[in-house]
Amino acid sequence: MSENDNEKPIDPRDAASEHGHTQDPSKSHPSAATTGKPNIFKQKRYIVAAVIVLAAATLSVVRSSGSDIRKLDVDGTITYIDLSSRSAGLEYDSPRNGQLREIAGKIPEDCDILLNGSPATLDDLRVGDRASIKVLWDTEKAQLQTVAVSVTRRATD
């Protein structure tokens, strides 16, 4: 019997701890047990998990701190126009229940206004005109902002 025959087989966990690695190689990628290197797959999972947590936290902050802005298209008939206050009203059929409703609001100076496809001003519009409006609805503040008005007027009107 030689001197080496009395030695116990080397446990890979003991070899890893001798090289400064204390992680149990049996719980990591097989190459870690043989190379003594850290498991890159496990590190990638931790990075991916951290990115997901960060993204979720950012999304919840954005939702809680910002308003919910919705873009709406509303078709109806102009019910009034006040040039001095740049406000107008539009009567429309509610898509929820089909009832006739009215929406009113200010028309900003920078609002795009078209009359039969050509650029127009608020002064060119009339009560009774059929109009399609594009608005931004801030659900948190319950405010509308008109961004575009398109009026189609028949030649006989």
User: What CATH number is attached to the domain comprising 137?
Assistant: 2.40.50.320
Residue 88 lies inside a defined structural domain of this protein: yes
CB 122 within 8 A of CB 86: yes
Does one domain contain both 51 and 99? Answer: no
Residue 50 lies inside a defined structural domain of this protein: yes
Residue 5 lies inside a defined structural domain of this protein: no
Q: What mean pLDDT is predicted for residues 37-46? A: 61
CB 140 within 8 A of CB 132: no
Does one domain contain both 33 and 59? Answer: yes
Element (H, E) at 86: none
Residue 98 lies inside a defined structural domain of this protein: yes
Does one domain contain both 96 and 43? Answer: no
* CB proximity list for 132: less than 8 A, separation 6 or greater: 73, 74, 75, 149, 150, 152
Does one domain contain both 77 and 60? Answer: no
CB 114 within 8 A of CB 120: yes
Does one domain contain both 60 and 96? Answer: no
Cα separation of the two ends of the chain: 116
Does one domain contain both 74 and 129? Answer: yes
Q: List pLDDT tens digits, range 74-101.
A: 999 999 999 999 999 999 998 888 899 9
CB 23 within 8 A of CB 31: no
Radius of gyration (C-alpha) of the chain in whole angstroms: 35
Q: What is the pLDDT of residue 57?
A: 56
Does one domain contain both 80 and 147? Answer: yes
Residue 105 lies inside a defined structural domain of this protein: yes
Element (H, E) at 76: strand 69-82
The yes-or-no verdict on residue 66 having pLDDT over 70 is no
Residue 2 lies inside a defined structural domain of this protein: no
What is the number of domains present in the chain?
2
Does one domain contain both 47 and 73? Answer: no
Does one domain contain both 73 and 118? Answer: yes
The yes-or-no verdict on residue 137 having pLDDT over 50 is yes
Domain that holds residue 84: 69-152
CA 131 to chain centre: 29
Residue 4 lies inside a defined structural domain of this protein: no
The yes-or-no verdict on residue 113 having pLDDT over 90 is yes
